[in-house]
Amino acid sequence: MTTSRNRELAKLLARIADMYEFLGGDTNRFRALAYRKAAQVIENLPEDIASYIEKHDLQKVHGIGQKTIEKIREFLKTGTIKKYEELRKQVPEALIPLMDVPGLGPKTLRQLYEAFHIQTEDDLIHILKSGKVYQLKGFGPKKVQKILHGLELRATLTQRMLYWEALTLARTLLQTLQDRIGTLIQKSAYAGSLRRGKETIGDIDLLISASPQHHTTIIQAFTQLPDVKEVLAAGETKASVLVGDNRRQVDLRLIQPHQWGAALMYFTGSKNHNVRLRELARAHGWKLNEYGLFDEASNKRLAGTTEEEVFAQLNMQWIPPEMREDQGEIELALNHQIPKLVSIQDIRGDMQSHSTWSDGSLSILEMADYVLKHFPHYEYLVLTDHSQAVRIAGGLSPEQFRQQKEEIQKVNAELGRDFVKAGAEVDILPNGQLDLPNELLKELDFVIASIHSHFQRDNTDRIIQACLNPYVHAIGHPTGRLLGTREPYPLNMEQIIEVCAQTGTALEINGQPDRMDLNDQYARWAREAGVPLILSTDAHYSSNFHYMEIAVVIARRAWCTPQHILNTRPWQEITLWKQEKASKTQTYKTKRHF
């Protein structure tokens, strides 16, 4: 089952709505509403739109108009909607992507466009900063500040990609090359910040090892890949291109097979890590570069075919790429103390996911089916729908959680195993209290508490109060940041980690591509303080379950072994851990007279 097409279509329909709204007028406003509604319906369909539209009457079941349905069929046939191409020509091109910036909807942009004829982002920033904008209705310093801040945050992501965007792009490109000229390729890999698992990626660095006689053909195949928009450079052993609508830069370097290991190390970086390695080599009278490890005096080649070989020659253990940041890993490798980092194989289940009961797109059975098919080694899936305070996400009342538990039991009976666990993502209210009573929390298999409101204020106390509840097992997306759109709320993370350690509360590493929350640095602090971590995807769509890779990469950058991650344990052990957590919390509260 795929919903990526649904999302693409939903985005396109929402864009059409944006265009109509920007153009303005009563008829257009009405059209915008219709398209926006269709976008919402399609985003939440339980199955691919192509098969869904054949089985169901979209007009009768969802109230989508005939005209819109025609557009959907057009998309399914052609991959685009002509009307959209028509409409976007009537809107200054540079303004279209700005419609996603918080505080800058299509209506606000139109207002600015009509008053000041802005055509570009620079025009907009100029007007906002000049003060002229205050003549307009509804524009005060607060709103202007918000927009400017949103534009700044956006800029960070137009210059760099999210980890997941880069990873999927790199894999697609390598796979296409493999399909087209696979027989010429000996080895291929992505290197650079992507291989190290950084949260944002400047450009993608691809390496291919192949016999020199094939280099020209490979470079040609690379520059002719389907999504290449511009070739920046193409030489004999390297090329740079811009790919896709976002024009992401991808560099390719061709490596001779015997130099593969040295090149992979060199182009993986980080720069600081490489500097340290070269120093170590020099101390032996050797030199290390992208071609190999050589004796300085005789120029004799000592190693270079594989990374392992180079590290071994330097008397070191192989270092996982996620650790190559010169933060102490070199010393560990010299002492043969590199930890065995957690991998996706160690994960026994997903700890946060949403079904159609709240804002997810799949039923509980569909979720379980998908997960069992794609992650056959998982032993459990924790369902954590929202609680009632989170209205826009269709949060559940205590009564609904109890009804949901019955459905979970039915699904588990059908699966013949206790696979789905009844959890909740309980909202931490503004006053720090929880949105569900303890009587219910007690009955649940796992409770994650998260903040979904009041992002401006310092939320340390709210989170600490949640930790003090014996039935709260973990804090979800602890900092609340959204890469590219929202800063973390003010938080004293040291204090939170301390309280988590004392009360036995776990912290989540949320694998959503724009959350990655906790980040690597905080996760490292948490690990060092003995705070258990849970890895989760926060899945709302079937494809989201694959975000576990993201959570794992953050944990690896934090040097976590399976032991540091709660969901590497069988469920029975988690049950025992929950009791431990409850009693630890009680002890802490007694000691502190809470």
Q: Which residues bind ligand DGT (CB under 6 A)?
A: 192-193, 201-203, 205, 266-267, 269-271, 274
543 contacts which partner out of ligand DGT, Ca ion, Zn ion, none, CB within 5 to 8 A by kind? none
Which residue has tokens 């590497």?
A: 568
Q: What is the nearest approach in angstroms of Zn ion to the Cβ of residue 185?
A: 42
Find the helix or strand (DSSP H, E) in which 101 lies: none
SS (H, E, C) 360-380: CCCCHHHHHHHHHHHCCCCCE
Nearer of residues 106 and 192 to ligand DGT, judged by Cβ: 192
Minimum CB distance to Zn ion, residue 4 (Å)? 22
CB of 235 to ligand DGT, least distance (A): 16
Q: How far is 287 from 370, CA to CA, in rounded Å? A: 51
Binding partner of 270, given ligand DGT, Zn ion, Ca ion, none, CB within 5-8 angstroms per partner class: ligand DGT
CB of 237 to Ca ion, least distance (A): 14
Considering all CA atoms of the chain, what is the largest pairwise distance in Å, rounded to the nearest integer?
Answer: 81
Q: Which lies closer to ligand DGT via its Cβ, residue 198 or residue 452?
A: 198
**Cα gap 543→537, rounded to integer Å:** 10
Helix ranges, 510-561 (H) = 520-528, 548-557
Closest-CA residue to 475 (of 533, 524, 422, 407):
533
Please list every residue from 183 through 212 that binds Zn ion, using CB under 5 A. none
Angle at 61 between CA 60 and CA 65, to 5 degrees: 55
Please report how close the Cβ of residue 536 comes to Zn ion at its closest, in angstroms.
10
Q: How far is the CB of 192 from Ca ion (least distance, A)?
A: 3
Label residue 386 exposed, middle or buried (CB < 10 Å: 0-12, 13-18, 19+).
buried
Q: Given the complex with Ca ion, which of 205 and 307 has the nearer CB atom? A: 205
- Binders of Zn ion in range 449-468 (CB under 5 A): 450
**Are 464 and 487 contacting, i.e. CB atoms less than 8 angstroms apart?**
no
Out of Ca ion, Zn ion, ligand DGT, none, what residue 314 binds, judged by CB under 5 to 8 A for its kind, is none
Which of ligand DGT, Zn ion, Ca ion, none binds 274 (CB below 5-8 Å, type-dependent)?
ligand DGT
Task: Pick between residue 84 and residue 267 the one whose CB is nearest to ligand DGT.
Answer: 267
Q: Which is nearer to ligand DGT, 24 or 202 (CB)?
A: 202
List the single partner that 450 binds among Ca ion, Zn ion, ligand DGT, none, CB under 5 to 8 Å by kind.
Zn ion
Helix axes 364-374, 398-415, angle to 10 degrees: 50
Which residues does residue 241 pair with via DSSP β-bridges, in sequence order? 231, 250
Closest residue by beta carbon to Ca ion: 192
Which residue has the closest beta carbon to ligand DGT?
269
Q: Of 450 and 544, which CB lies nearer to Zn ion in the complex structure? A: 450
11 token code pair:
């985005």
Smallest distance, Å, CB 385 to Zn ion? Answer: 10
Binding site for Ca ion (CB under 5 A): 192-193, 203, 205, 251
Residue closer to ligand DGT (CB basis): 61 or 233:
233
Q: Is the CB of 267 or the CB of 446 nearer to ligand DGT?
A: 267
Q: Which amino acid is at 587?
A: T
CB contact set of 464 (below 8 Å; sequence gap of 6+) = 432, 495, 496, 499
Question: Is 266:276 a contact under the CB 8 Å cutoff?
Answer: no
d(C-alpha 33, C-alpha 48), whole Å? 23
Cβ of residue 206: shortest distance to ligand DGT, in angstroms? 11
Q: Which of Zn ion, ligand DGT, Ca ion, none has residue 267 at its interface (CB below 5 to 8 Å by kind)?
A: ligand DGT
Residue type at position 306: T
Cβ proximity to ligand DGT: between 304 and 480 the closer is: 304
Q: Which of 209-214's residues contact partners 24+ apart within 8 Å by CB, and which partners?
A: 209/185, 209/254, 209/255, 209/256, 209/257, 209/259, 209/260, 209/263, 210/184, 210/185, 210/186, 210/254, 210/255, 210/257, 211/184, 211/186, 211/256, 211/257, 212/256, 214/181, 214/184
* Residue 269 binds: one of ligand DGT, Ca ion, Zn ion, none (C-beta under 5 to 8 A by kind): ligand DGT
Task: In angstroms, give the least distance from the CB of 428 to Zn ion.
Answer: 10
Q: Which stretch binds Zn ion (CB under 5 A): 25-33, 120-128, 445-453, 488-496?
A: 445-453
Binding interface with Zn ion (CB under 5 A): 450
